[in-house]
Amino acid sequence: MREYNKDPERILILKPSSLGDIIHSLPTLAAIRERFPKAFIGWLVKREWAGILEGHPCLDELLSFPFEVGSAWPMVQEIRKRRFDLTIDLQGLLRTGLLCYLSGATDRIGFEGARELSPLFYTYRVRVDKENLHAVDRYLLIAQRLGGKTDFKRFDISITERDQEKARKLIKTVSGDQSIVAIHASSRQQVKRWPPECFAELADQINQAVLGVPVFTGAKGDVKDITEIQKRMKTVSINLAGQTSLKELAALLKMSRLLITNDSGPMHLAAAVGTCVVALFGPTDPKKIGPYGQGHVVLRHAELCPACQTGTKGPHRCLEAISVKETMAAVKNVLHGG
């Protein structure tokens, strides 16, 4: 394994998506900035996730593109125009491997075991020796290879006063002076979603226990699903899906007592801003992509799921096996320490 002992002037990080993966990469960015304080650092990101990186103190430039048909060549042109001498591929797919190569950078670094033949385009390859390594710590191996210090993990998210004010107004409008408990009932994959009737019953119990006003978060496309959950409820809850930007959501989560969530991007956002999480996991491995840090509770019953045990695609019973009773107990444990 070749050592990297250069001092690059212009660095490009390739991590286009998705929200959780980008958040996992933030400590690596911070470590690289500390290692190369004078370097120009850019980040290539998919346009829909660019908001979470805007204003980041470690970045000099954010290159955002739609990653649609027809955007590839303009993207390559913009990258080459900036004359990067070190490109870091944290995504590890064929398209980012190719972008790494086409960037024109002399030095290109990525993971030895990355997918879709992307390692063919790297000049430096990093081996991951440990199993069940969390994504945050796996990405940090790149920073270590470059000589960076990784003892302290920084999740810098530049929440502005405007973001905070928007979140405060939303919270005050929906809850008055009461505290809120955020609930993210959505996920990009159906197999990662806890049953809606369970979320409805849990939100009712949170109200009945006077733990806070249940506030559902999500994108515009989640409004209908959350409305269906609310129809099953006997008490009042708030649907804020589609009403916040990524930074405003970060501010809202920071102001919440906790977040109850499926395996999702907002789960990682809450952990990054210091809000405790009760995470409901199905087929994905929380050891690798669970909420990072202390104080979180992960519920998972892979041992009761034949699909998880055999590694097949489904049907997955692991999420259905998580009861409202144990989830409510986890909520109370996080909020009251038992």
Task: Output the domain CATH number for residue 84.
Answer: 3.40.50.2000
Do 126 and 175 share a domain, yes or no?
no
CA atoms within 13 A on the CB side of 8: 24
Do 57 and 136 share a domain, yes or no?
yes
Which of 145, 180, 208 represents a domain boundary (last residue)?
145
- Within a domain: residue 28? yes
3-state secondary structure the chain: CCCCCCCCCEEEEECCCCHHHHHHHHHHHHHHHHHCCCCEEEEEEEHHHHHHHCCCCCCCEEEEECCCCCCHHHHHHHHHHCCCCEEEECCCCHHHHHHHHHCCCCEEEEECCCCCCHHHHCCEEECCCCCCCCHHHHHHHHHHHCCCCCCCCCCCCCCCHHHHHHHHHHHHHHHCCCCEEEEECCCCCHHHCCCHHHHHHHHHHHHHCCCCEEEECCCHHHHHHHHHHHHHCCCCCEECCCCCCHHHHHHHHHCCCCEEEECCHHHHHHHHCCCCEEEEECCCCHHHHCCCCCCCEEEECHHHCHHHHHCCCCCCCCCCCCCHHHHHHHHHHHHHCC
Q: Which residue has the tokens 């999420």?
A: 319
The pLDDT, as a whole number, for residue 118 is: 97
Q: Is 58 left (phi over 0), alpha (psi -120 to 50) or beta?
A: alpha
- Within a domain: residue 152? no
Residue 184 tokens read as 């993210």
Amino acid at 48: E
Q: Identify which of 304, 338, 335 has the alpha carbon closest to the alpha carbon of residue 318.
A: 304
Q: Identify which of 269, 228, 224 has the alpha carbon closest to the alpha carbon of residue 251.
A: 269
Do 141 and 208 share a domain, yes or no?
no
The percent of residues in the chain predicted with pLDDT above 90, rounded, is 84
Do 72 and 204 share a domain, yes or no?
no
- Residue 202 to residue 223: CA distance in whole angstroms: 19
Do 88 and 167 share a domain, yes or no?
no
Do 133 and 176 share a domain, yes or no?
no
Which of 145, 180, 200 represents a domain boundary (last residue)?
145
Do 214 and 175 share a domain, yes or no?
yes
* Structural domain for 195, as ranges: 161-336
Do 139 and 167 share a domain, yes or no?
no
Strands 10-14 and 40-46: parallel
Which of 145, 176, 191 represents a domain boundary (last residue)?
145
- Within a domain: residue 1? no
- Within a domain: residue 153? no
The pLDDT, as a whole number, for residue 305 is: 64
Asked whether the beta carbons of 10 and 86 are under 8 A apart, the reply is yes
- Within a domain: residue 38? yes
Do 121 and 189 share a domain, yes or no?
no
Strands 297-300 and 277-281: parallel
Do 38 and 171 share a domain, yes or no?
no
- Within a domain: residue 39? yes
- Within a domain: residue 156? no
pTM, whole model, 2 decimals? 0.95
Task: Using 70 as the pLDDT threshold, list the residues of the chain that sit under it.
Answer: 1, 304-316, 338
Do 132 and 219 share a domain, yes or no?
no
Q: How many domains does the chain have?
A: 2
- Within a domain: residue 285? yes
The pLDDT, as a whole number, for residue 320 is: 86
Amino acid at 115: R
Do 85 and 206 share a domain, yes or no?
no
